[in-house]
Structure 1
């Protein structure tokens, strides 16, 4: 039986909260988790009672990125690496293509694919403990899940390159100053503040909300498809390099 690493809570007000539920691994994402997330997102998109979606992580962190310890002992090929990455990309495409607004609520780490997942949402709320890093190059792969589009779109190309090339950690206040976080709240207030925003959006006329997202994302989605196809060609090859293999081996040995 597949472990339920994602669950959803619905409210009568039209808000659905989607929770990444692997707190023991800081909600690190894996292909099975992404399949579950995609399925739930598609179901929520068809549910007329749902007006707004909140995406968050269980516990103290949003998402620590791809679970590089998953599948330990196996030898990934380019083909199965590509198949796995497609599942990650599919989640991002669903969020961008669905007409309902999706709010990322970030506490703690949003690293690698976790940061990409947050950037794929329509709005991003962060607690003061939030820490972002698009550290793909340190891991030995290229930025994935639309990061190559979303990050320069929000903060500019040169700042985006700096974050990719260095992999440095950006704390919540700096992220807000850069422009990829909408609001920052104390940790004790982030849940209430995010829910208040979601309730406000749920109370807005739904049709113009849907049309606005559809129009504003129409050009983005064309670019996103091209960027993700490039990811699917490039990242699986990087995963075969000795640098990436060495990083994973060190991680398994708890050296990183």
Structure 2
């Protein structure tokens, strides 16, 4: 099962988490949901990795849950809830990752695939990508965590449109409503990813990590001014600020440590 969720390291301080089941359009199985947090933890533990991409193999991001497993997974409410624990564990691993996570989306990004993309910090979609959140087509309910992430991306009214209809959105509509942050041609995707990797690799690890902590607090509705102030104050005594300030004064690029 490790081969279905792969962590590929790159030379530019980035790594790609591959949803690697292209023959099934990267349909997500219970075991794949369960494996994803371990791969995220592996990326977090590697100090050489500053940025994580999430991507589907074979030109498709993820077409949703594996239909073949549905009779077993949805046989009882208890079985469905046990499966949902694995799904939410995967979502939480991505959302709480201290390193930036960017979804690179080609083709279908539907159901659980769209949920995974929403758990990432940023979403870049190709022009031919399409999106859907479809529990209403199955008589199911989208949970609070998934619904919160959808609302934060597109707003309350658009979330209602997407959830009530279960319809597919093309990439133009996804961009206009905030479901994705950027829309590119397929042939541009590699270069855009490399550009993000270069910029984030050149930035301060401390700054990014602390900023993600503050964003997470605000996302959760907690405006903890004291915790935010502590992170702000600590930055002035850190090695990253010393290097960043010295580089600024010398008008040279900063060389922040990798950790």
TM-score range, shorter chain: 0.7 to 0.9
Aligned-residue offset at 1:11? 1.5
Match of 2:29 in 1: 30
Residues 198 and 119 of structure 1: is their aligned pair in 2 closer, same or farther, counting only changes over 3 Å?
A: same
CA contact (8 A) 2:15 2:51 kept: yes
Match status 1:214 vs 2:213: yes
Match of 1:202 in 2: 201
In 1, Cα distance between equivalents of 2:74 and 2:138: 17
- Map 1:186-201 → 2, pairs under 5 A: 186-201=185-200
CA contact (8 A) 1:113 1:144 kept: no
Aligned-residue offset at 1:202? 1.8
Instruction: Give TM-score scaled by structure 2 length.
Output: 0.80
Aligned-residue offset at 1:220? 2.7
- Map 1:6-85 → 2, pairs under 5 A: 6-70=5-69, 72=71, 76-85=75-84
In 2, Cα distance between equivalents of 1:211 and 1:83: 33
In 1, Cα distance between equivalents of 2:56 and 2:220: 25
CA contact (8 A) 1:31 1:84 kept: yes
Aligned-residue offset at 1:219? 3.8
- Map 1:1-256 → 2, pairs under 5 A: 2=1, 4-70=3-69, 72=71, 76-144=75-143, 146-221=145-220
In 2, Cα distance between equivalents of 1:135 and 1:198: 32
In 2, Cα distance between equivalents of 1:5 and 1:141: 26
Structure scoring higher RCO (CA < 8 A, sep ≥ 6) equals 1
SS in structure 1 at match of 2:79? helix
CA contact (8 A) 2:12 2:197 kept: no
In 1, Cα distance between equivalents of 2:15 and 2:49: 6
Q: Which has the larger radius of gyration?
A: 2
Instruction: Give TM-score scaled by structure 1 length.
Output: 0.81
Aligned-residue offset at 1:7? 0.9
Q: Structure 1 segments of 4 or more deviating over 6 A? A: none
Shifted more, 103-112 versus 63-72: the winner is 63-72
Number of aligned positions between the proteins? 222
